[in-house]
């Protein structure tokens, strides 16, 4: 049960191609944006779709996989954990970010680059 304390699983579509970077220590990092959508009918019977956007971060081999096999629109399943961090922007304002650090990615769209 200890592994359930900070665990996230999502199924959605990429909003853009993965953005790959390399740190000064040589570690690979991929940033991805994932959209998850839910639909329901409102009081008048109209279909309403709500989309949530999630910021994902993948490291190492997972980042390399994302760069090699995923593109905008790819349907993926991910497993990871939530992290919260903050930083000061160029104007000195404190900014807060919530991201999902991805441990595993599964390309369920069946398409590869």
Q: Where are the domains of the chain?
A: 2-107
| 3-state DSSP assignment of residue 72 | coil
pLDDT of amino acid 5: 85
pLDDT at 82: 96
pLDDT in tens, 31-73: 999 999 999 999 999 999 999 999 999 999 999 999 999 999 9
Query: What CA–CA distance (Å, rounded) separates 16 from 35?
Result: 10
27 membership: H or E segment, kind and range: none
pLDDT at 111: 60
Q: List, for residues 91-106, the tens digit of each pLDDT value.
A: 999 999 999 999 999 9
Separation of alpha carbons 14 and 67, rounded Å? 12
Element holding 13 (H helix, E strand)? strand 8-14
22 in Cβ contact with 3 (< 8 Å): no
- For residues 8 and 26, give the distance between their C-alpha atoms in angstroms, rounded to a whole number: 27
* Nearest alpha-carbon partner for 15 in 104, 76, 85, 96: 76
What pLDDT, on a 0 to 100 scale, did the predictor assign at position 2? 63
31 pairs with which residues across the strands? Answer: 19, 57
- CATH code matching the domain that covers 2-107, chosen among 1.10.287.1080, 2.40.50.140, 3.40.50.150, 3.90.550.10: 2.40.50.140
Q: What's residue 109's pLDDT?
A: 81
């Amino acid at each position: 049960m200890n592994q359930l304390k900070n665990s996230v699983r999502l199924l959605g579509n990429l909003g853009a191609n993965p953005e790959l970077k390399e740190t000064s220590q040589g570690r690979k990092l991929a940033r991805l944006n994932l959209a998850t959508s839910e639909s329901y009918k409102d009081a008048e019977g109209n279909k309403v779709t709500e989309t949530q956007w999630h910021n994902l971060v993948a490291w190492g081999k997972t980042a390399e996989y994302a760069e090699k096999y995923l593109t905008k629109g790819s349907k993926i399943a991910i497993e990871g954990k939530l992290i919260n961090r903050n930083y000061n922007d160029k104007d000195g304002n404190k900014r807060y970010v919530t991201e999902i650090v991805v441990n595993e990615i599964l390309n369920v769209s069946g398409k590869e680059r």
